[in-house]
Structure 1
Amino acid sequence: MKQKYIPLPGYREYFTLIILCAEFVLFALLSNKFLTEQNVTQIIQNASEIAIISIGMTIVIILGGIDISVGSVLGVCAIVAARLSAMGVNPILVVVLTICSGIVAGAANGLLVSLLKVPELIATLATMNFWRAIIFLMLGGSWLTGFPTVFNNIASGITFSIPNILFFILILYFVFWFVLTYRPFGRHLYAIGTNMEAARLNGIKVKKMKFASYMLLGALVGLSAIFYIDRMGTVEMTIGSDLAMQCIAAVVIGGTSITGGRGSVVGTLAGVLFVAVMSNGIVLLGVPSLLDHAIVGSLIIISIIIDVLLRKRIKKRRVETKTRLTIS
């Protein structure tokens, strides 16, 4: 009987939850404004775009790839959504066309990576600069404001003192947790990230999986752009400039291996909260935002070092086990 691979949370995910709790306690002690209803709501709403995009980033990184163009793609999708809304287009059509624009951008990355075999970092660096130039041309150096909202009730609404966007995010994470845990897509994803050649020899469509993963990430970026313009009410030139770093940090801090093959959206959600709480706490304490970038960057480096050491340890154990079996 064929066994199903179920990616259970590892110690990295639990470690992230522990340091997240410690972070909450620290900022609660340092600032009496931290645990107020208004501030907690602000943290959740500000983290909404990162939370949504980090799902797709988790999938791409598990696959063994990366995408640093998500910030620029968010900008293009936000402009598309804002312009369509200003023209009075039906809200549902605005959502569909905005998500489609994200899919197109994701498909461009997918084509470069899967068919042309351009290294992921180079491919997404090129598209990042391309879409950033498109943003400049579309905005012409000015900001977009005054457009009607699409889903403002979800982006900024509150029910029973709980932000509506939190319900949406939790549902989204549950859906992708189920897909990655119990569906063939998830099993194939982990197999490719662990050993791409072995996955190909076992009949997994590696190129199609890569292409689909980047398109899925693009769709999630398009979806997050809808919530961004509803929440912010404006589109500026620098939109999404730090988004890629924040998403990658959330995913890596959450326990996903930067080299692929291991990770979960459960850990990613904890990583998203960690990054969001860190940014909020630093603002409340009046610390320069540059320190926030330094801390997040340091945590990325530490997470990568831990991942490398863990992989070496696992490899050493496998060699020792194989040697004992051979001797016996």
Structure 2
Amino acid sequence: MSEQTMRAVTIEEFGGPEVMRTRRVARPEPLPTEVLVRVHAAGINPVDWKTRAGHGMAGLQSFPLIPGWDVSGVVEEVGFGVTTLAPGDEVYAMPWFPRPAGAYAEFVTAPSRQFARKPASLPHTGAAALPLAALTAWHALVDAAGVAAGQRVLVHAAAGGVGHLAVQFAKHFGAEVIATAREPRHAWLKELGADETIDYTQRRFEDATGGVDAVIDLLGTLDETDVRSVSVTRPGGIVVSVPGGVSPGLATAAGRAGVRTSPLLVEPDAAALTAIAELVDAGAVQVQIERTFALEEAAEAHRLGETNRTRGKLVFEVAK
């Protein structure tokens, strides 16, 4: 095949998983300060299928659209002015977010300083599972909540992609970690560092814990998790609400209780990815992959992701 084209998953209209097609499209070329990366693996995230369905970051997209943001691969070319990377470097990133990045493809281009060197201890499939989920957890704990040793941190949806990393980061920072998840995930979450686990299908979390310094809320208004989290948070503590930001109900409840709130939308952050890679290589953090897929299996991957029953992450193997 021509070096001017590449395989990619594309969509021409918003809709269900069936709108995704794998075809050959023009290969991107790096502009000055950008790098061209040959993608070895691409991570799959909830925002991907939400955007495909016309939600999520749909308002920032245009057709034809190549979905996805998480990538791990090898630098193929560098544009004029790039000083931090060279051809052959193994890198990972969540480039351009929330603008289109085109990660479900054999090549991507983006500013060189949005990429970090991938964890040396991980294959590309493991590295591709990290960026969006790990940066979300990192920004929530470090930048929004300022979690410190000795604090109590509650992580909702702790068995998911963001959640299982948030548990490990919080534990690494010296916090006491409470995790909500279905009971079959409890033993695994305790291996990752959770001190307490709560099966939200058996009892309400507000009946099982309290005195929390920070809540990492990955469910938002679902079952009023955001508002209910206020009751377990100490005055002066914080609820970081990731999906959809701070709802009016959360703002009202938190204001009455003297609890702080913060919305969160993850951003490209090469410095944080470098710190995360160091933790991974030191053995302090691990990423869980539920299953890998070929690009041609994009519809199947999204259908599985939309069940919200996966343990950890889903990943495309783009090149072997």
Question: In proportion to residue count, which structure has more helix?
Answer: 1
> Bigger relative contact order, structure 1 or 2, given CA contacts below 8 A and separation 6+?
1
TM-score range, shorter chain: under 0.3
- TM-score normalised to the size of structure 1? 0.26
- TM-score normalised to the size of structure 2? 0.27
Larger radius of gyration: 1
